[in-house]
Amino acid sequence: MNTDNMSFAGEEFYRLESVKKQFSSVFGNTADLAVVSVDVGHYKGLLCYLTTMTNTDFIIEHVLKELTLSEHKEPVSMDETFHLLETVHYAALKHETLVDLDKVMDKIVLGNAAIFIDGFPKVLVLEVRTLNSRSIDEPTTQNVVRGPKEGFTESADTNMSLIRRRFNNVKLRFEKFELGYMTHTAVYMTYLDGEVEDHILKQVREKLNGSQIDSLFDSARIEEMLHSKGKGIQLFPTVYSGERPDAICSCLIDKRIAIIVDGSPFVLVVPALFTDFFKSPEDEYQWVVIGTFSRVLRYFAFILSLIVPALYIAVTSYHQELVPTILLTSIAAQREGIPFPASIEILLMEITFEILREAGTRMPRLVGPTISIVGALVLGEAAVQAGVVSNINVIVVSLTAISGFVAPIYTFGSKVRFFRFGMIILASIIGLYGLVLGCAFLMVQITRIESFGVPYLSLFSRWDKRRVT
Amino acid sequence: MSVVRFAGIILLCFALLAACTGCWDQTELNQSSLVTGMALEPGNHSKYKVTFEVVNALETDPTKGGKGGTPTAIYSKEGNSIAEATQRINESLERMILISHIRVIIIDERLAREGIDQFMDVLQRNRYVREDVLVLVGKGSPASDFLRTVYARGQYAGYKIQMQVETYRKVYGGIPRSHLYDVAQVLLTEGRVLMLGAISISGNVEKSESIDSIKTIYPAAVVKMAGAAVFRGDKLIGYLSNEHTRMVMLASDYVYNTLFALPGSVNGSKSPGAVAVQFYHMHSHMHVRMDGKTPKIRLNVEGDGKITSLDQNIKLTTIKGYDKIEEMTREYVNKELQKTISYVQQNFGVDVFGFGQHYYRYHFRKFKPIAREWDSLFSKAEVEIDSNFTLRRPDLKTQKLEKDGIGP
């Protein structure tokens, strides 16, 4: 490959000057490349690494100190020096011996240091990757009152360690993949060997290996890819994502596969069923009755957030006979003098709420109080007093809003919010009939979904012998 | 499905929205008014005069307070059919009316005497009129006057009358069941005639129309329960008093809770109620058989109850005291029931009790030949009453508070 290096008995000896030249031609003038001339025992050597993937203390402490072989006073041969480094001095570090310079460079990009010895054909590659990462914090999207407070971080190593320390089991596997032909992001498929169905493992492997993406910065990107394709649009998420190691571990116990993406604190789990999106790990840490109660409450809230505004519109503008008289007079009294029809009124407030939510999530933390003050004005008493919307409307929209956030998994809640608009439009066109049609459509869609061969509604559906898992 | 196609479908949906909002049967709440009461009278120029009680929703909302107006407004329209008058109500009213929330339909007695069958169909046919709406007969005043009595709770008159009828029936039983479905049921059944609830007004209606009338503690006019209106076929023939109505209801097993004030034996009719007993869980069974041309009817009445007041001192420390009161109740109820039955037999000669219905259900073949003459047979029927009342508790005191007296 390299004409500058002397060939001897089929192997290439590295000449330090040419190695340096090679590096500068490949890496260019990148500022974080360190190519340092060092003494390796009694020979001249070269230490190459990326300063951004390690820190100087680590290099001084663990690499440079050992490099001089200070305890060996009398000179040893080149072979022996290399052997000593490999087996004695760097035995504790993860290391390997390479010959091919291209591979060495790839390794350096991933956070390794390469040690060349002048006139020696082998290169010692040491893993010196020490990255600063966020410390383990409480998860921000899945909170519990009772239960472990640790959450995943952006570092896949930390995340794997969080799982491993809960699973002292030899069967736990972390299978490594590299995704993204530009970024080479590490992706780990985690499962309990022997527990998981082979065909599911095979499918996940195929999907990960067959990916054509250029970059991968968050696990949401492959969530799309993991959806089973070919059956229309996926209206409901079929991939569970969690920020809590305990939740992910309990999924592993349930014979699922977790997928850890380096750089994302959200770990994915497949296959995921409809019921999973209503589970919170806390359910299992409480008295079973309380846990079941809150789970049932979540299903109820899901239905509420889906149909309440639509039901309100259908009932007040098409089916007044369904409302108790006293309630209807009360609603009618509030609707007096409101300039808009009920459907426009609801849509207006729902969109206001969505804007408020979007602003609340994206705004800089410093302007937070501003949003809550202004938000309370447009979505509250002030709007009612201005005669733009009615009280009952505010109640309906607020009830829907809080019910929408009860779902423990955010992605699920956001999909439901989207369907709600569809329901509102259907109900304002053809009343209850439209609402029922919409629900039927969702029901049909939801029963068609399969997640890696497992029916999405498994726990509710009829027991099917052909699908025994 | 490609993204383009999906987007296309979404766009189509929105196009549909633009085309279809405000579909033909959509009614906005703030462009329509609830009707809560309906009164039917003979018209001056046309056949009927229909009066609607239309809610002014803003005034009924306690939180918004309104502007001090009346909670309802009354609109009348004359027409040759009820449907026509209803449809033409907008000659005087600006909003569309929602008739699905009618609470009471009050029929004028003049109209009821001519027969109610001619206009029941429109009420039964309309899908917006509920089957459980109350159909009442207005006794002594024009039907529209009943809707013109404002009352202190600030709610509409229809609601007040409905609540009053239901509550009165529940706690005393002095008014018959008269929902729209009861009317249909009785009109279709054999061996029983229609009985509707009757209401009357005491006080000055003219004064009661104004909201000022409820600013006094004594309302200018009050709607009162007036027992039952008895029909032969579909025509009104007379009224039963509240007491008679209660006994009729008791015989037909429609009374759940009532109170009997048993008279003492000292001063005749002015004698104070010696004992008052309240009964709940009341049941009655009837047995009808024909003895030649005379129906023989056996009526069993039973009930559980408690003592609510005791004017004479009857010792309740032993079982004998209870036995005595139970015996008094039995005698009283038997006498009153017998009185009511003979009153109905003599004055109306129609079976309001449903004895014929019972016979029709249990002995269909025997009833068939006499079905047409049942009412005349009924007026000669012999009724044997067997009642059985059980007193469960004396409430708080076992005995009337009285000094025992010392010495001989």
List the CATH number of the domain containing B360: 3.30.300.210
* Residues B100 and B166 grouped into a single domain: yes
Q: Parallel, antiparallel, or unpaired: how do β-strands A123-127 and A112-117 relate? A: antiparallel
Closest CA to A227 of A239, A241, A217: A239
Tell me, yes or no, whether B12 lies in a domain: no
Number of domains in chain A: 3
Query: Chain B partners of A422 at a C-beta cutoff of 8 Å?
Result: 13
* Residues B234 and B267 grouped into a single domain: no
The answer to whether B305 and B276 have CB atoms below 8 angstroms apart is no
At A192, is the secondary structure helix, strand, or coil?
strand
- Name the band, by pLDDT with cuts 50, 70 and 90, for residue B244: very high
Cβ neighbours of residue B138 under 8 Å, at least 6 residues apart? B39, B106, B107, B108, B109, B145, B146, B198, B199, B200
List, in sequence order, the alpha helices (H) in B149-303. Answer: 157-171, 180-188, 205-208, 242-251
Query: Chain B partners of A418 at a C-beta cutoff of 8 Å?
Result: none
Tell me, yes or no, whether B2 lies in a domain: no
- Long-range contacts at A356-362 (CB < 8 A, ≥ 24 apart): A357/A401
Q: Across residues B56-79, what is the average pLDDT?
A: 76
* Residues B281 and B377 grouped into a single domain: yes
* Residues A110 and A227 grouped into a single domain: no
- Name the band, by pLDDT with cuts 50, 70 and 90, for residue B58: confident
The answer to whether B246 and B279 have CB atoms below 8 angstroms apart is no
* Residues A337 and A439 grouped into a single domain: yes
CB contact (8 A) between residue B1 and residue A233: yes
Q: What is the pLDDT of residue B199?
A: 94
Tell me, yes or no, whether B349 lies in a domain: yes
Q: Across residues B76-86, what is the average pLDDT?
A: 90
For residue B9 the two structure tokens come to 């479908």
Minimal-distance CA residue of chain A relative to B130? A321
Query: Chain A partners of B59 at a C-beta cutoff of 8 Å?
Result: 333
Domain that holds residue A47: 7-127
Q: What is the pLDDT of residue A462?
A: 58
At B150, is the secondary structure helix, strand, or coil?
coil
Number of domains in chain B: 2
- Name the band, by pLDDT with cuts 50, 70 and 90, for residue B238: very high
- Name the band, by pLDDT with cuts 50, 70 and 90, for residue B296: very high
* Residues A249 and A201 grouped into a single domain: yes
List, in sequence order, the alpha helices (H) in A110-219. Answer: 156-164, 198-209
CB contact (8 A) between residue A325 and residue B16: no
For residue B247 the two structure tokens come to 């006994």
Q: What is the pLDDT of residue A4?
A: 47
CA A369 to chain centre: 29
Only one residue has tokens 């003895």, namely B291
* Residues B372 and B337 grouped into a single domain: yes
Residue type, B104: V
At B73, is the secondary structure helix, strand, or coil?
strand
Question: Rounded to an integer, what distance in angstroms lies between the CA atom of residue A382 and that of residue A394?
Answer: 11
The whole-angstrom distance between A118's CA and the closest CA on chain B is 59
Question: Rounded to an integer, what distance in angstroms lies between the CA atom of residue A445 and that of residue B206?
Answer: 64
Minimal-distance CA residue of chain B relative to A337? B30
Residue B5 clears pLDDT 90, i.e. is over it? no
The whole-angstrom distance between A179's CA and the closest CA on chain B is 25
Q: What is the pLDDT of residue B272?
A: 59
Whether a cis peptide bond, with omega within 30° of 0, leads into B272 is: no
CB contact (8 A) between residue B101 and residue A320: yes
Q: What is the pLDDT of residue B64?
A: 59
Percent of chain B with pLDDT over 90: 36
Minimal-distance CA residue of chain B relative to A427? B21
CB contact (8 A) between residue B17 and residue A233: no
Residue type, A342: A
Cβ neighbours of residue A446 under 8 Å, at least 6 residues apart? A235, A236, A274, A456, A457
Q: Say which range, A172-186, B40-54, B390-404, has the weakest mean pLDDT.
A: B390-404
For residue A111 the two structure tokens come to 């956070």
* Residues B67 and B115 grouped into a single domain: yes
Q: Across residues B255-278, what is the average pLDDT?
A: 76
Tell me, yes or no, whether A364 lies in a domain: yes
CB contact (8 A) between residue A320 and residue B22: no
Query: Chain B partners of A321 at a C-beta cutoff of 8 Å?
Result: 98, 100-101, 128, 130
Question: Rounded to an integer, what distance in angstroms lies between the CA atom of residue B99 and that of residue A170?
Answer: 73
* Residues A64 and A184 grouped into a single domain: no
The answer to whether A205 and A281 have CB atoms below 8 angstroms apart is no
Q: Across residues B259-267, what is the average pLDDT?
A: 76
Closest CA to B89 of B77, B79, B105: B77
State in Å, rounded, how far the first CA of chain A is from the last one.
Answer: 53
Question: Rounded to an integer, what distance in angstroms lies between the CA atom of residue B118 and that of residue B133?
Answer: 18
Q: Using CA of residue A374, residue A376, residue A379, residue A384, what is the dihedral sign?
A: negative
| No. of helices (H) and no. of strands (E), chain A | 16, 14
Query: Chain B partners of A342 at a C-beta cutoff of 8 Å?
Result: 28-29
Q: Which of B6, B59, B63 sits opposite A233 (nearest CB)?
A: B6
Query: Chain B partners of A326 at a C-beta cutoff of 8 Å?
Result: 159
Q: How does pLDDT run along chain A (469 residues), one tens digit per residue?
A: 444 444 444 457 888 888 888 888 888 888 888 888 888 878 888 888 888 888 888 888 888 887 776 666 677 788 888 888 888 878 888 888 888 888 888 888 888 888 888 888 888 888 888 877 788 888 888 888 888 888 999 988 899 999 999 888 899 999 999 888 888 889 999 999 988 888 889 988 988 888 888 888 888 888 878 876 655 567 788 888 889 999 899 889 888 999 999 989 999 998 888 888 888 888 888 888 998 999 999 999 999 999 999 999 999 988 888 888 888 888 888 888 788 888 888 988 888 888 888 888 888 888 878 887 888 887 778 888 888 888 889 999 999 988 888 877 877 888 888 889 989 988 988 889 999 999 999 888 888 888 887 888 877 665 555 555 4
Binding-site residues on chain A for chain B (CB distance < 8 A): 232-233, 316-318, 320-321, 325-326, 328-338, 341-343, 391, 422, 425, 428-431
Tell me, yes or no, whether B5 lies in a domain: no
Average confidence score pLDDT of chain B: 85
Query: Chain B partners of A425 at a C-beta cutoff of 8 Å?
Result: 13, 17
* Residues B276 and B373 grouped into a single domain: yes
Give the CB-side neighbour count of residue A23, counting CA atoms within 13 A.
Answer: 25
Q: Which residue has the higher pLDDT, B388 or B219?
A: B388
Q: What is the pLDDT of residue B154?
A: 63
Minimal-distance CA residue of chain A relative to B65? A333
Q: Across residues B24-53, what is the average pLDDT?
A: 88
Domain that holds residue B380: 242-403
Q: What is the pLDDT of residue A160?
A: 92
Q: What is the pLDDT of residue A464?
A: 57
CA max distance for chain A: 104
Q: Which residue has the higher pLDDT, B150 or A148?
A: A148
* Residues B284 and B161 grouped into a single domain: no
* Residues A258 and A357 grouped into a single domain: no
Q: Across residues B99-105, what is the average pLDDT?
A: 90
At A109, is the secondary structure helix, strand, or coil?
helix
Tell me, yes or no, whether A145 lies in a domain: no
Domain boundary pick from B220, B240, B260: B240
Residue B208 clears pLDDT 50, i.e. is over it? yes
The whole-angstrom distance between B291's CA and the closest CA on chain A is 51
